[in-house]
Every structure is written in C-alpha cells, then in structure tokens.
Chains A and B, each alone.
Chain A
C-alpha cells in the first residue's frame, strides 16, 4: 500500500491510455509523458504499459507500507526517501515505513513513479488510467487526495540500484503541417514557425494553450466536427493555438495548422507553464525517422537493463 500524506496539485494514476473508444466519445487519457512512464516501469522490471503515478506539481509525500522498489522519471522534483536524495532515472529499494517526498519540479513539469509489480487498481475499458473529465478509471476516477491508501500489486524488492540517462528535453517541438495549413496565409504560416509561443496557465491535460502573435485564418467557417488526436495544434477564432493532449475531447472543428510528431509529444508534457516553446517544420519521413530513433532508444534501455 502507498498512503498519500501530501497529494500535490494534480497527482493521478496513468498507464499508456485507453485507446479504442474514441468512437463513443471516450478520451484516450494516459500518461502525458509516455516515454518517462515506460522507462520508470522498465527500471522496476514492469512491462512498459503498467499503471504508474503522474505527479504534476508538488509537494507530494507517500508513505510505503510494504517493502518494494520504485523508480522516478521525468522532471526532477528534488525528491528524497527518508531524507536521502532520489535521482530521476534510478531504481531504488524501499522498506515499509519509508517516506518518499517530491518537492517542486526543478526542471520539467511532470514526474512519474513506478512501483515494482504495479499498482492494483481495476481495469476499466481496457485501461487503468484516470479519466478526470468523466470521473472513472485510475483511483476512484479522480486525482489522489490526502489519506488515500493505494493498493500495490505483489512487489519485488529489487535491492540492486540501477540508473540510466533520461532523454534530454528541448523547447524545439517538431511538427508536420496540418490539414488546414494552407488556409493560413504564408505570412501566418511563417509566424507559426517563428514565434516563441508562451505556455499559458490555462494549460492542462486536455491541451496546452499558447500565447503569441494572433494567427489569422482565411476561412472563418467552422469545419464539421471530425476526429482529433493528441498532438494536433488547432487554431480557434481568437488566433491563439492549442496543442491537444491525452485528455482532449475526441472530436473537434477548429482549423488544424500542424500536428506535433509522436516522438516529441513527451516534450510538450514536460514544458513548464509560463515557459516558451517553438515549433520546427518537419515532414512525414523525418517524423518516422524520429519515431524509429525513439523506439531504438527504448529498446536499448530494455536490453541495457538486461530485462
């Protein structure tokens, strides 16, 4: 069991999401930084899709009631286990009675905690992810609160400490022009790639709302509703783009100026509110290469850990 002593601002259980139900209006959900969750799981010998804890802003404190081993990945929250520092990207053994504390993110936005053997919550529509908007999945369909006691699956205490170098974050986000790209004048297109977009505080798991020079759209007609996916950069009438993320609704109608490539979605998840990001023009070929590189990196981790 993990007992929640301090819950932070938004701490939720997430796995790799709930695909297959968009046609019923059910969002994908799941970890925003899937790379970090996958690595955390591998570090503690779990399959990459196991459910972990996504921590969005501290301070968070967990009390472990059993012996197990854990890994923290993603943003560095200056964490400690009974006052001993815990570095992101390392697996460490935990004894019953020990307290894991995450303070505030020093860099990045979200940390992921994986526990050896996983977390024992029920599978709802094929996933253990929390659907915050609709209130199901994860832990009682909501963010963790003080006093929650989260059951753990059968844990192994892996005493050997192992660690690895986590992928490096940059503010350059590669994106492919979207279906309505050509409905923006060339000047607007250039503006989109050139602007240092500021991430507004209204950003959340549904999407990142960006602030910069207004992007004007030639055709003001709303499109008929169509399926949308995480990574789409849509431009509502106010001209301020929104990058859709895992909790985004399943259909939408705003013009889509670009789509963030799969390999860079995790970078959006780790971009801090108030910080800036920039889009870099990318074609399909480059996107596929980037995706293969990331897959190769993940593969190396699996092999490198001898799992």
Chain B
C-alpha cells in the first residue's frame, strides 16, 4: 500500500511498517518520532523501532487484524503533528583525534589532517535514530567534503569508543565490533550503561558536537 510518499506493509505476521520514500530528511524523521511516541502505549503494540525515515511496529497477540493496523499508521502519517516531541539536547563528545585512518580520509578528501579534524569539530550532528549496537546513533550532518568510502576490507575488530566516517555518515562505536568505517579518533565517554536510566547517552533528536580532548580538559 502506498500513500503520500510512503509505503505501508506487514513484516511477517506480527509487525507493521511505515517506510517513507527517499531521500531521507530530518523533517520526516521528526514525524516518525512523533508517530512512535503516539504508538508506544497502544494496547496492540509491543514496541516501536524507528529506522531511517521508517517505523517498524511490533504487534502483540491482542491485534487480531494487523491489516487494520496499517490503516492506523496511514492515519497518523496523514495527520499534522501538533508538536514535535523529539528532544533537542546538545551532547558534547570529547575525542582524541588519533585515528589510524585520518590520513586515508585526508588523502581521499584532498584536505590536510588538521583540516579534516577542524571540519569534523565545526559541524553539528543530529541523532536520527539508534540501532546496530546499544547506544549507536545514526547521525546526519557530516560535511559533504569529509565523506569517505568505507574500507574495502572491513577490519575484524574496531575498538569500543572509535569515532569513524563511513560514506557520508559519522558515528561512534559503543562496543568493539568488526567494521569498515575510517577511524579518525576515539572517545572515552560511555555511550551505553544498562544500569542508567536511560541506558544510552544519546537519544533520537539530540544534537551532537565533537570537541578535541585537549580543549575538553
């Protein structure tokens, strides 16, 4: 089912999905966040998972007719949110810019290493949604000049706290993981702690700024 630049479909027998057509935008993501907040406490809903301009809604057994739930998603999609509820905190992440791929990024972009760092620091990044690992934020806002393709051969392990550039995205790995991003620095800040409320440092909607470790001290 397609309606107003979005696709609505069931995923298996117990999930309903709203997927906006590309290109992705922050405006759309805010609306996704608003719909997610509206559905979180719905009696048929186990959980809502925002993706990049999409929303996956897991339904419980109370929902006898998942098809009718798609209608509900459509209703939300066509309504005009009275307020956009995503947070707008600014979170500062201290970074030691000593990544092993700084030179690779510099070579690819034709910039000096110092310029790469300066550009990365100047920009402001928006958390669109979290996924992949606990506390991993998909962020928009990387200056286009810094975009650098992923490594052809992903590394078997990238340490926790690594700050990287993959294509036109930048991000921080909360845990050690195999990965193909260009590592430009690392942070000691904890992005996930299951004993804290909320357990992740970053939340959808947050603005993120990177500051060099030296200045932070």
Q: Which residues of A line the B interface, CB within 8 A?
A: 19-27, 124-125, 131, 133-137, 176, 178-179, 224-229, 231-232, 249-251, 256, 259-262, 284, 287-288, 291, 295
Given known A25-B135, A226-B51, contact A125–B199 (CB-CB < 8 A): yes
Cα distance A295–B61 when bound, in Å?
Answer: 10
Q: Which of A27, A134, A227, A256 contacts B51 (CB 8 A)?
A: A227
Given known A23-B130, A26-B134, contact A262–B46 (CB-CB < 8 A): no
Cα distance A25–B127 when bound, in Å?
Answer: 13
A-B contact pairs, 16 of them (CB 8 A): A22-B47, A23-B48, A25-B131, A25-B192, A134-B174, A136-B194, A176-B12, A225-B131, A227-B15, A227-B131, A229-B58, A250-B131, A251-B131, A259-B12, A260-B12, A287-B13
Most A C-beta atoms less than 10 A away, residue of B15, B22, B134: B134
Cα distance A24–B174 when bound, in Å?
Answer: 12
Q: With an 8 A cutoff between CB atoms, is B17 at the interface?
A: yes
Asked whether B22 lies within 8 Å of A284 as measured between CB atoms, the reply is: no
Q: Give residues 1-32 of B contacting A (CB, 8 Å).
A: 9-15, 17, 19, 22, 24
Given known A250-B131, A262-B12, contact A227–B199 (CB-CB < 8 A): no
Cα distance A226–B128 when bound, in Å?
Answer: 12
Number of A-B contacts (CB under 8 A): 130
Asked whether A225 lies within 8 Å of B47 as measured between CB atoms, the reply is: no
Q: Which of B46, B66, B198 contacts A284 (CB 8 A)?
A: B66
Q: Give residues 122-150 of B contacting A (CB, 8 Å).
A: 129-136, 138
Closest A residue, CB atoms, query B36: A23
Tell me the minimal C-beta distance from A217 to chain B in angstroms. 17
Given known A25-B136, A179-B17, contact A231–B12 (CB-CB < 8 A): yes
Asked whether B138 lies within 8 Å of A225 as measured between CB atoms, the reply is: yes
Given contacts A225-B51, A226-B52, 15 further A-B contacts (CB under 8 A): A19-B47, A20-B46, A24-B130, A134-B133, A176-B12, A176-B13, A178-B11, A224-B53, A225-B131, A227-B15, A227-B55, A250-B49, A260-B12, A284-B66, A291-B13
Measured between beta carbons, the chain A residues less than 8 angstroms from B132 are: 25, 225, 249-251
Asked whether A24 lies within 8 Å of B194 as measured between CB atoms, the reply is: no
Q: With an 8 A cutoff between CB atoms, is B175 at the interface?
A: yes
Asked whether B49 lies within 8 Å of A19 as measured between CB atoms, the reply is: no
Asked whether B49 lies within 8 Å of A23 as measured between CB atoms, the reply is: yes
Q: Mark B193-217, 1 if CB is under 8 A from A, else 0.
A: 0110011100010000000000000
Tell me the minimal C-beta distance from A59 to chain B in angstroms. 30
Given known A179-B9, A250-B49, A251-B51, contact A224–B24 (CB-CB < 8 A): yes
- 7 cross-chain pairs, A with B, having the tightest CB-CB distances, nearest first: A251-B131, A227-B56, A227-B49, A259-B12, A226-B51, A224-B52, A287-B13
Most B C-beta atoms less than 10 A away, residue of A19, A25, A125: A25
Tell me the minimal C-beta distance from B155 to chain A in angstroms. 17
Cα distance A141–B198 when bound, in Å?
Answer: 19
Asked whether A133 lies within 8 Å of B13 as measured between CB atoms, the reply is: no
Measured between beta carbons, the chain A residues less than 8 angstroms from B187 are: none
Q: Which residues of B line the A interface, CB within 8 A?
A: 9-15, 17, 19, 22, 24, 36, 46-56, 58, 61, 66, 129-136, 138, 174-175, 192, 194-195, 198-200, 204
Given known A224-B24, A225-B51, contact A262–B13 (CB-CB < 8 A): yes
Asked whether A23 lies within 8 Å of B199 as measured between CB atoms, the reply is: no
Closest A residue, CB atoms, query B33: A23
Q: Which of A19, A26, A261 contacts B199 (CB 8 A)?
A: A26
Tell me the minimal C-beta distance from B25 to chain A in angstroms. 11
Given known A176-B12, A179-B9, contact A25–B51 (CB-CB < 8 A): no
Asked whether A224 lies within 8 Å of B54 as measured between CB atoms, the reply is: yes
Cα distance A229–B36 when bound, in Å?
Answer: 17
Closest A residue, CB atoms, query B21: A224
Measured between beta carbons, the chain B residues less than 8 angstroms from A287 are: 12-13
Measured between beta carbons, the chain B residues less than 8 angstroms from A136 are: 194
Cα distance A227–B36 when bound, in Å?
Answer: 13
Cα distance A260–B13 when bound, in Å?
Answer: 9
Asked whether B15 lies within 8 Å of A229 as measured between CB atoms, the reply is: yes
Given known A224-B24, A284-B66, contact A232–B12 (CB-CB < 8 A): yes
Most A C-beta atoms less than 10 A away, residue of B14, B131, B136: B131
Measured between beta carbons, the chain B residues less than 8 angstroms from A224 are: 22, 24, 51-54
Asked whether A25 lies within 8 Å of B195 as measured between CB atoms, the reply is: no
Given known A176-B12, A224-B24, contact A25–B200 (CB-CB < 8 A): yes
Cα distance A75–B195 when bound, in Å?
Answer: 35
Closest A residue, CB atoms, query B22: A224
Q: Which of B15, B19, B134 contacts A25 (CB 8 A)?
A: B134
Asked whether A25 lies within 8 Å of B13 as measured between CB atoms, the reply is: no
Cα distance A23–B202 when bound, in Å?
Answer: 11
Cα distance A249–B173 when bound, in Å?
Answer: 14
